[in-house]
Amino acid sequence: MRKVAIRLLFVLAALIPLAGVYVLNNASLVTEWFTDTGGIKQGEMIPFVSGDEVDGGQVDMKQYKGKKFIAMIAKIDCESCKSSYPTIKKWNELYPDIPLVMVGVGGKEEYSRIKQELQFPFPILSADQWMQDQFLMKITPVFYAVDEEGRVMERMNGYRVRDFKKFMEKAERI
């Protein structure tokens, strides 16, 4: 009996570090298991909202109906959002056939400054409270790969270069 207990302790001692490594390498997945991240779920329809573009004018997401596109939900003071900027700055170069639209929470003027400074080649919708409610926003960033009908086919919470590359590989196959 004592030998069984000792063996069990050794097995547990080996499994605990392995679980820790899994959590570190799959943090966003583990977070989703234990928290309500809000947002539009995979398989649901994206809300085709319209609103103010941070540089002036209007953006109507209905213009993307009939083609696949990426919707990024961001917040002006979100560090993870900011870490995605070097990649999304080169959007047209990296993904010329897939439009991107950002729905941004925060100061319209601040987003306008960032858009001009980084020369973002895509529209940024200034998200008022109604728009935030439409997207069921709780966390940022969230990337949605949307098909031609407006259905969310892939979703990625947070931003890590490796995860984003996998997300975009899937998005390109939609």
Packed helices 27-34 and 2-25: angle between N→C axes, nearest 10 degrees = 110
What separation in angstroms does the CA of 163 have from each of 29, 33, 112, 134, 143?
Answer: 11, 17, 27, 26, 11
What's residue 48's pLDDT?
95
Q: Are 63 and 132 in contact (CB under 8 A)?
A: no
DSSP string, 33-98: HHS---SPPTTSBPP--EEEBTTSSEEEGGGGTTS-EEEEEEETT-HHHHHHHHHHHTHHHH-TTS
Q: Are 145 and 153 in contact (CB under 8 A)?
A: yes
pTM to 2 decimals?
0.80
Q: Are 101 and 65 in contact (CB under 8 A)?
A: no
- Mean pLDDT for 48-59 is 94
- For 10-41, what is each residue's pLDDT tens digit? 665 676 665 555 445 455 544 544 555 778 99
- For 125-158, what is each residue's pLDDT tens digit? 999 999 999 999 889 999 999 999 999 999 999 9
- Mean pLDDT for 57-82 is 94
What's residue 22's pLDDT?
47
- Mean pLDDT for 107-117 is 92
Integer Cα distance of 142 and 102 in angstroms: 10
Q: Which residues pair with 107 in a beta bridge?
A: none
Token output for 44: 């649901």
